[in-house]
Amino acid sequence: MNKDSKKRCWWANTTREMQLYHDKEWNKLILNDKRFFEYFCLEILQAGLNWNMIINKRKKIKKLLDNFDFEKIKSYDENKIKQLLQEKEMIKNKIKIKSIIYNAKKFSEIKETIKQYYKQQDEKKIEKTKLKKETEAKDKKNTKEKIKSYFYIWLKQKIKEENYDDFNKVPLEVYIKIFKKNFKFVGKEIVREFLESSGIIKKEHDKECFMHKKN
């Protein structure tokens, strides 16, 4: 491991890979559905295991799982599952892999649901304002450009249904309820760690850490 003089959170100094994950990724919000799905998969795979091991295996697991492309993973069949279970670097747990495939389907459904929602919003806006065709096309384009993460928008809608507007003010029990209703292999720790690692909810670094108050 490449050592440096930086003080980090207590969990971050085991390997160079962990240092980089801590410094450049952990709790940094990036509105990207593939990134959200990747973090979600990693949390599922590490359940009952060691996070350090998952981070060290991450690149190889990512390659085995088509770069965490949920549109591809949703089509995995039994033959693909058997193939994955024979791979040296894969976490050999059939339940976890099948849960990831199920969750990939849900991510794809969420994407289509939000697309339809915005399509309807565009149609209502166009009908109400009676814009010219060229302006209508521009409005549609602008709406699409604003959508960086369908999952993030979907989750925002779900917490609003529970009468919350701020991700950081939603009790963990509410998140667990939402996730258990829509996904598989989602216990308390997996949900909490996913929300924190992805930056959906803010979690401060240790006071001694050089990243304290920088996220």
More confident residue, 62 or 144: 62
Residue 3 lies in a domain: no
The answer to whether position 66 is within a domain reads yes
CB 194 within 8 A of CB 39: yes
DSSP code per residue over 97-148: HHHHHHHHHHHHHHHHHHHHHHHHHHHHHHHHHT--HHHHHHHHHHHHHH-S
Q: Is residue 129 part of a domain?
A: yes
CA nearest neighbour of 206 among 14, 7, 6: 7
Domain count, the chain: 1
Burial of 37 (0-12, 13-18, 19+ CB in 10 A): buried
- Look at residue 162 and tell me if it is in a domain: yes
Instruction: Give the CATH number of the domain where residue 87 resides.
Output: 1.10.340.30
pLDDT of 167 reads 97
14 pLDDT exceeds 60? yes
Q: Tokens in use for 215? A: 């996220």
Q: What is the mean pLDDT of residues 129-137?
A: 47
Does residue 4 belong to any structural domain of this protein? no
Rounded Cα distance between 139 and 111, Å, is: 20
pTM of the model: 0.86
136 pLDDT higher than 70: no
In a domain, 117, yes or no: yes
In a domain, 142, yes or no: yes
3-class SS of residue 17 = helix
- Residue by residue, DSSP assigns 150-176 as HHHHHHHHHHHHTT---GGGS-HHHHH
Predicted local confidence at residue 125, as pLDDT: 55
pLDDT tens figures, 75-130: 999 999 999 999 999 999 999 999 999 999 999 999 999 998 887 665 555 445 54
**Domain, as residue range, for 116:** 16-197
Do 37 and 197 contact (CB within 8 A), yes or no?
no
pLDDT digits (tens, 9 = 90+) for 17-72: 999 999 999 999 999 999 999 999 999 999 999 999 999 999 999 999 999 999 99
Is 95 a domain residue? yes
